[in-house]
Amino acid sequence: MAAVLVADDDIDIRNLVSYKLTHAGHDVIAAENGLAALKSVREHHVDLVLLDVRMPGMSGLDVCRELRADAATRALPVILLTARSQEADVETGFAAGADDYIVKPFSPRELISRVEAVLARLAR
Amino acid sequence: MSSLGLLDVAAGVLAVAGAVLLAVLVGLRVRRQVRQVRAERAAEPHRARLLALLCAEDDERAGILDTLAELDDHSWTALEPVAQVFLGKVTGQASSSLVELFERRGLAERAMSDLGREGRIRRARAAETLGQLRHQAAVGALLPLLRDADPDLRVVAARALGRMGDASAVPALLGALHGRFAVPPSVVVLALTALGPDSQPLVAEGLDASQPLVRAVAVEVLGAVGATAWAPRIALALTTDPHPEVQIRAARALGSLGAPQALEPLLDALGPDRPESLRAVAAGSLGRLGDPGVAGRLGELLGDPVPRVAATAARSMARLGQGGEWELRRVLGGIHGDRAARQAGAALAQAAISKGRARPAGDPTVET
């Protein structure tokens, strides 16, 4: 079981991802924007972060860079959620330090597989 | 009555009319909000079940689907818009489950019926729904909408046809690019790109169309979907098509496809007598092909009087790996003049930043 932070400004996506992760046995912390995500990471124990790339204000890429710049969160695994039309963001995402990415629309099953693969890599 | 009195009466009438109008607007807004709150309340108990359906394992799926399919009409009316939102947000089994749920609730039948009714919004919603449901039986009913007088309806119909993945829609989509009631090329490109590999031979037939826009769209789509089998035909379009826009899109498509037969036509497209935009796109595509053997020819372009051509060639050289970097350093040394050297320096600096490596102190190779 891991603590996963889900940051997405789309409430439907937040609810869906939270439901899937919770039913897979993980603890979920939800954030509706980049600033709230950073605040949550600093206030709670988090094992993995799922970040929507395009959020108003602070984007997922900005959050990822902030996490990588802080010694306390540098090693925290990050998975980006990006729309199909924004796949150019993927290259930027990896440059910003993301560990993996998931393209929207996505399959909830694929999402949980990706999350668990990243957590398994972390555990090794 | 004096004119002053008449003015007072008119002002009073206007004030009363304004107050009534304001009250009506506020009333309508409140009524809408109340309805929305009621709908959300009615949907709330079933939202978790909907999420459960989207996330269900194989052994749970049928039971949840049955429960949602048998909801009373009041609850379903409230839940349906919530479920429809998810149609565009999930794929895989989650999407299949939603489609099955909607089919069982008769949404596709209602949408088919709405397609033939009055009202552009009703018809557009119906077309959108049928596309989201990938309701194959609707293809024939959607094709005529590509020629509808309403431009929004034409766009929705094109998008819906793309989602359905039925290759038989290709000729109508290509045909919708021209005429009095046309569909924007960007919409047609997206629709054709979504159709899948079975559509490629029909899209390729567009390469022989008399209208340059149809040829250009066909080239763009074949490049976007990675139709490598058509690379020789696209290379021919780059070399022989009389229209510059077709040539430009062919050059871009060949870069995406990465086919070896693209090399010679792309090198030819760099000639100084060719259109500037074509030369710039060809230079970019040569970088994507990744053959370091073209580094010398690209290096010559770094001193080109057209800045866009020179800068694109420099970026392409940086993408070619060690061979490209080696040639950039030669150009930086001045073999093609000062202007070319500045472009080379900028490209080397950008490459160093991208690689995340610090510039060694005193390294002259990235001075610009």
Interface residue B52 vs chain A (CB under 8 A): yes
pLDDT attached to residue A91? 76
Say whether B152 sits in a helix, a strand or coil. helix
> Which residues lie closer than 8 Å to B140 by C-beta, 6 or more apart?
none
Query: With contacts defined as CB-CB under 8 Å, which chain A residues touch B86?
Result: 12, 16
The enclosing H or E element of B274 equals none
pLDDT mean for each 10 residues of chain B (368 residues):
81 91 91 81 85 92 94 90 90 94 93 92 94 92 95 96 94 95 96 93 96 97 93 95 96 91 93 94 94 93 93 93 92 90 91 62 38
Q: How far apart are CA B279 and CA B270, in angstroms?
A: 5
Helical pair B120-133 and B107-115, crossing angle rounded to 10 deg: 140
Say whether B253 sits in a helix, a strand or coil. helix
pLDDT attached to residue B363? 42
Interface residue B194 vs chain A (CB under 8 A): no
- In contact, B56 and A24? CB cutoff 8 Å: no
pTM beyond cutoff 0.80: no
pLDDT attached to residue A85? 58
Rg (chain B; Cα; Å): 30
pLDDT attached to residue A109? 93
Interface test with A, best of B60, B64, B90, B159 (most A CBs within 10 A): B90
pLDDT attached to residue B88? 86
Query: With contacts defined as CB-CB under 8 Å, which chain A residues touch B94?
Result: 107-109
> Pick from B109, B105, B100, B104: which is nearest to B53 by CA?
B100
Among B47, B55, B86, the residue with its CB nearest the CB of A23 is B55
Strands ordered across the beta sheet of A48-52 = A27-31, A3-7, A48-52, A78-83, A100-104
Nearest CA in chain B to A20: B55
pLDDT attached to residue B58? 85
CB contact under 8 A, B55 and A110: no
Q: How far apart are CA A108 and CA A16, in angstroms?
A: 8
Sorted by where each starts, the structural domains of chain A and their CATH numbers stand as 3-123 (3.40.50.2300)
Distance from CA of A36 to the nearest CA of B (A): 23
Q: How many CB atoms lie within 10 A of CB B210?
A: 7
- In contact, A5 and A115? CB cutoff 8 Å: no
Nearest CA in chain B to A24: B55
pLDDT attached to residue B7? 86
What are the structure tokens assigned to A75, written together? 């090693």
ipTM, two decimals, is 0.90
CB contact under 8 A, B54 and A110: no
In order, the DSSP letters of B198-252 are: GGHHHHHHGGG-SSHHHHHHHHHHHHHTT-GGGHHHHHHHHHH-S-HHHHHHHHH
Nearest CA in chain B to A104: B89
- Regarding predicted confidence, which is higher, B237 or A89? B237
A70 pLDDT more than 50: yes
Interface residue B357 vs chain A (CB under 8 A): no
Q: Is the peptide bond before A105 cis (omega within 30 degrees of 0)?
A: yes
> Which residues lie closer than 8 Å to B266 by C-beta, 6 or more apart?
B238, B251, B254, B255, B282, B285, B286, B289
What are the structure tokens assigned to B166, written together? 């039925």
